Amino acid sequence: MGRADAAPLTVQVVYCPRAGAVDESSLVLPADACVRDALQLSGVLARHAEIDLAHQRIGIWGRLRSLEAPLRDQDRVEIYRPLLIDPKEARRRRQAQQRKA
């Protein structure tokens, strides 16, 4: 990691362990850093033992990326929770509740 002649990257790592809770870290990394580097150096994996990189999806600005994907300055690395319910089904349930009220 790190070429001496390249400018460092500023990135954010974001994880929401549950609705309403956000764990966000800002980092300065070497120019050749990848997603895995950001996750490890942010400390998010140590703070949230439930994160399993073998199964959870990771993205940059809402687009899925691999752990080896290179980072660019101002990237936002996001760790996605598994869906508990299909979004379409959740919307149907909300609409049904609104009709009852």
CATH superfamily of the domain spanning 9-100: Beta-grasp domain (3.10.20.30)
pLDDT at 4: 54
Element (H, E) at 99: helix 87-100
pLDDT tens by residue, 68-98: 999 999 999 999 988 778 889 889 999 998 9
From residue 10, give the alpha-carbon distance in Å to each of 46, 51, 73, 97. 21, 23, 5, 44
pLDDT tens by residue, 20-54: 899 999 999 999 999 999 999 999 999 999 999 99
Helix (H, G, I), strand (E, B) or coil at 89: helix
Q: What is the largest CA-CA distance in the chain?
A: 64
Residue boundaries of the structural domains of the chain: 9-100
pLDDT at 101: 77
Does residue 1 surpass a pLDDT of 70? no
Write down the pTM of the prediction: 0.78
